[in-house]
Structure 1
Amino acid sequence: MAKTSTIITIGREYGSAGREIGYKVADELGIKLYDKEMLNRAAKESGICQELFETHDEKPTNSFLYSLVMDTYSFGYSSGSYTDMPINHKVFLAQFDAIKKIAEEGPCILVGRCADYALENYDNVLSIFVHANLDARIRRIARLYDLTDAKAKEKIQKIDKQRSSYYNYYSNKKWSAADSYDVCLDSSVLGIDGTAEAILKLVEIKEKDEPKRL
């Protein structure tokens, strides 16, 4: 039984432990966390092969030629209005639809993939962005993937750039900017457990104040 009626979206800098924090919050609240599961769901419901969701996952593809070539593998979207779109847009819209369907099923945590933008008209959403200072992120990624600090830094910069480009390309907001989210939390200051606790407290405050805002 879920202990909340809130849907939490988590945007995150790479290496800030956003997903790990999300799992801690999900366990505490008795709700499901969706990360790659969003891709599986979108692939299943749209009929577009899953490999394409993996290829485009939080990476914008602006190349028209690439889209044209990849389009031959998409198997077409069942809805006629989508058929003339480049494949990256089809993939994004299929994911957008899947996010909304997941949200309609009840409280959950959605990690990345513009979920906050997809659900911006929903009242029961709390959008969080988890960030951390670069040194802390380098240490974490170097430890997790057995990389040198230089390689870890390179990986962080590359993935952050992809996530940022994806978010800025598909949403009307700016990735990592404070005014794009309800709350931004620094996991290098609060720690992983502390950030999870802060999110739980924020959910409690939001739900307590909800009747006053109606």
Structure 2
Amino acid sequence: MNGNLIITIGRQSGSGGKVIGQKLAERMGVECYDKELLSLAAKHSGLCEELFEKHDERPTSSFLYSLVMDSYSMGYTASGYSDMPINHKIFLAQFDAIKKLASEKSCVIVGRCADYALADFPNVVSVFICGDENDKLARMQETYKVDLSKAKDIMIKSDKKRSSYYNYYSNKKWGDPRSYDLCLNSSVTGLDGAVDVILSFAEVKQRWNKEKKQ
């Protein structure tokens, strides 16, 4: 496990975070996991994949959250409970899938509080990708083939959902520089430049971790 390098990507909508993650994985010679995590979590937990898609990166009630965190802190797994609410199972199954991946191999993981799930893993580099408003909107228009107004609506709703999910399940704040190792504006670096910066940063962090142990 200690030899695996895991890069987690949090991202604003339209920032190119997913593409950066894919490019990173290609440069590293590893796999990039985004929605693929839903399939893995479904497979490992025995739950229907459609349930994961329905509840993907969506917060639930405060009561359910307390159940999730209490049980997770005691080390219970998704497969170990038959009576818990479905949202609870889905949350635990995704976290279990993320931890299992990180223990098996190096990879890039986009979204889903992966940095929080892997907080105790030594070789994790947590990154947050942001971007300038005009660039993000232009990318959203291109991706979804919509006008400016619709692109802005999609962006706002998507970021709100991601923020709520992250703030809800982690002990950190989505987009806050203190929540990540590295925050990067893709409008300044470009997508390929962002990959260069992240890989250089990962090398520096790994070297520093080794020096601290000596």
> TM-score normalised by the shorter chain: which range applies?
0.7 to 0.9
Cα drift, residue 89 of structure 1 = 1.7
Whole-Å separation in 2 of the counterparts to 1:78 and 1:25: 32
Mind listing any 5+ residue stretches in structure 1 that lack a counterpart? 65-76
Query: Counterpart of 1:16 in structure 2: which amino acid?
Result: S
Deviations 1:114-167 (A, max 9, x none): 000000011110000001122211111101211111100000000000001111
Q: CA RMSD in A?
A: 1.7
Identical aligned residues as a percent: 54
Deviations 1:86-127 (A, max 9, x none): 221210111000000000012111110000000001111000
Which residue in the other structure is 2:9 paired with? Answer: 10
Distance 1:113 1:33, change over 3 A: same
- Where 2:127 maps in the other structure, the secondary structure is strand
| TM-score, normalised relative to structure 1 | 0.88
Deviations 1:63-96 (A, max 9, x none): 98xxxxxxxxxxxx641xx334322121011100
Cα drift, residue 62 of structure 1 = 2.6
Which residue in the other structure is 1:137 paired with? Answer: 136
Which residue in the other structure is 2:101 paired with? Answer: 102
Whole-Å separation in 2 of the counterparts to 1:102 and 1:22: 16
Which residue in the other structure is 2:37 paired with? Answer: 38
Matches within 5 A, 1:39-188: 39-62=38-61, 78-79=79-80, 82-188=81-187
| TM-score, normalised relative to structure 2 | 0.88
Moved more, 140-149 or 201-210: 201-210
- Where 1:99 maps in the other structure, the secondary structure is helix
Mind listing any 5+ residue stretches in structure 2 that lack a counterpart? 64-77
Whole-Å separation in 2 of the counterparts to 1:183 and 1:117: 14
Whole-Å separation in 1 of the counterparts to 2:29 and 2:144: 30
- Where 1:185 maps in the other structure, the secondary structure is strand
- The alignment of Structure 1 onto Structure 2 pairs a total of residues equal to 198
Whole-Å separation in 2 of the counterparts to 1:78 and 1:12: 30
Query: Counterpart of 2:172 in structure 1: which amino acid?
Result: K
Whole-Å separation in 2 of the counterparts to 1:12 and 1:49: 27
